[in-house]
Amino acid sequence: MYLSPPASLMRHIRTTVLLLSVAMGAGRVQAQSRPPVSSAAAVPSLVVFVTIDQMRAEYLDRFAAQFTGGLKRLKTEGAVFTTAMHDHAITETAPGHATVMSGRFPVHTRITHNTSGVNTSDAPLIAGAKGDGASPLRFKGTTVTDWMRARNPSMRFLSVSRKDRGAILPIGRTKGDVYWWAPGMFTTSTYYRDTLPSWVQAFNADSGWMSLAGKSWDLLLPASDYAEPDSVPAEAEGGQFMFPYRAPSNVDALSKIFFVTPMMDSLTLALALRGVTAKELGADRQRTDLLAVSLAATDAIGHAYGPDSREIHDQIVRLDRSLGAFFDSLFVLRDPRQITIVLTADHGMSPLPEVHSGRFKNADAKRVDASAILAVLDTALRAKGVPASAWGWDNGVWFVPDRAAFAKARVSVDSVARVLSTALRALPGVSRSDLFTALAKRDTTTDHIARRWLHMFTPGEEAILATTLTQFSLWWTTPNAAHGMPYDDDAHVPLIFWGAKVRPGLYTQPVRTVDIAPTIARVVGVQPTERLDGKPLMQALVGTTAPKRR
């Protein structure tokens, strides 16, 4: 069951977030008009980087008439890029988060799948938290944080998220304040520290999330304000699919499903705000600090109900209000004229293949089951002496990490790949199946599918074969709505820059998410320390020059 607070509780949460500055000793919060942002201001003292997990770009326009908070502020006052794309094939959370702050494609960050992202037993969680350990050790290269630290070692940063990979990968390998949600608390791993700082411990002790116990999630707005039907049995894998949704009264049960509620975003933003004060982010004009916030409730609700749903509509409206409360509180603590905000997403979203609302051309969408083909392959290879550990399959990619095992059995990897490709292409719902050696010969200026696969993997390495489904089709391993394909629905994300150094306006030219990091570098006046795949979006900036190389 996927739950979020009722409207009355959301009002309480917004008030709580607005008043957090009082609890942290900032004095009384009074209503005040926001000072005009000077786009030509000096280098900002704080960069706020917001990643909304699974945010389709079209949500900004589709629900705009009902925005009153943070999304409205950014959309009306910022530099809005309407055609921003993740230009890689596997549009998942880990590759997306690794890309946006590094300026490099997954083929260079080496973060190519969620399953090969951050989880490891070598860095267990601390403070008694339950869950998989996590670290950025698979991430290669640097991020904006590293470039800022190279310029000014005294800079401070904080990264928070519901997901471990959402908190870790935007920062890269730098050790510092990186926290994510485990059932019932925010924590981190031994990669970063052995004990939680006192301000995180105090935040956890507040247990604000427990107020959801026994409450119901109902619509924030009148039902007549939602165009989507509230009776779509294909949603939620056959579970509950109509409002209202009631949260468990048992706190232990609530802790296990809390992260898939809209309140998770509010709680994450409240932790971020607490951290701004505790770490004095943006308080010193002699340095530029960084706050990275990844909000993941949209992802959980989108997977369960899909982008056509009334549930996702209500979530986006609530997200707008939560961001509005966060920005209002932040601007009490820090001068908005010294802040630059960036908002984007780690990937987009495709609908449930079984739901045909007319919004998407997905009438022919299928769930494609390749399990029988892979089972036959496994049997044949074992008979030849190739163990199952020598190869793998993940999201349409056939991998061979142990070529020596194939060579020892005198089995040609390329020959097996060609046979597998032929079998996969015969499945309904498969569009193409290409060896990476063949993709390398394609004209990537016209074949965007080939280009996006080549931005994931290097031909000649472990990835041998890439199979692409027809648009809106999903692999059998995905029981709900999903993302991950090299099509624009999964790749198209919002991109907005707001505040210091930003020229507001609507920018329609195509850009890529690898352009975000070099643009931030220009805003804060630092030089990337390695070659990037992206370039700065100078059309949206004022008063910036390329920093001198050191």
List Cβ neighbours of 356 (8 Å cut-off, separation of 6 or more). 362, 363
The strand ranges marked E within 288-333 are 289-295
List Cβ neighbours of 380 (8 Å cut-off, separation of 6 or more). none
List Cβ neighbours of 185 (8 Å cut-off, separation of 6 or more). 127, 129, 204
Let me know if residue 549 belongs to a domain: no
**CATH label of the domain that carries residue 239:** 3.40.720.10
Q: Which residue has the higher pLDDT, 243 or 405?
A: 405
Same-domain pairing of 111 and 248: yes
Same-domain pairing of 412 and 340: no
Which among 440, 475, 510 is the end of a domain?
Answer: 475
If you average pLDDT over residues 444-464, what whole number do you get?
97
C-beta of residue 456 within 8 angstroms of C-beta of residue 89 = yes
How does the average pLDDT of the chain come out, rounded?
Answer: 91
Let me know if residue 535 belongs to a domain: no
Let me know if residue 16 belongs to a domain: yes
Same-domain pairing of 324 and 395: no
pLDDT of residue 546: 57
This model's pTM is above 0.85: yes
* Band (22; pLDDT cuts 50, 70, 90): very low
pLDDT of residue 393: 97
Same-domain pairing of 305 and 387: no
The domain of 118 spans: 7-29+44-350+488-501
Let me know if residue 482 belongs to a domain: no
**CATH label of the domain that carries residue 427:** 3.30.1360.150
CA distance 438 to 66: 48
* Band (547; pLDDT cuts 50, 70, 90): low
Residue-wise pLDDT for 90-140, tens only, equals 999 999 999 999 999 999 999 999 998 999 999 999 999 999 999 999 999
CA of 146: how far to CAs of 115, 174, 290, 453, 545, in Å? 25, 7, 11, 28, 20
Same-domain pairing of 468 and 493: no
Same-domain pairing of 373 and 297: no
Same-domain pairing of 290 and 400: no
- Secondary structure of residue 356 in the 3-state scheme: coil
pLDDT of residue 464: 98
Let me know if residue 261 belongs to a domain: yes
CA distance 334 to 332: 6
Same-domain pairing of 274 and 395: no
Percent of the chain at pLDDT > 70 equals: 91
Same-domain pairing of 342 and 419: no
Let me know if residue 539 belongs to a domain: no
Same-domain pairing of 432 and 286: no
Same-domain pairing of 264 and 194: yes
Residues, the chain: 550
Q: For residue 146, how many C-alpha atoms fall within 13 Å in the half-sphere facing its CB? A: 19
Same-domain pairing of 461 and 493: no
Let me know if residue 395 belongs to a domain: yes
List Cβ neighbours of 113 (8 Å cut-off, separation of 6 or more). 90, 92, 94, 95, 394, 395
Q: Is the pLDDT of residue 240 over 90?
A: no
Let me know if residue 71 belongs to a domain: yes
Number of domains in the chain: 2
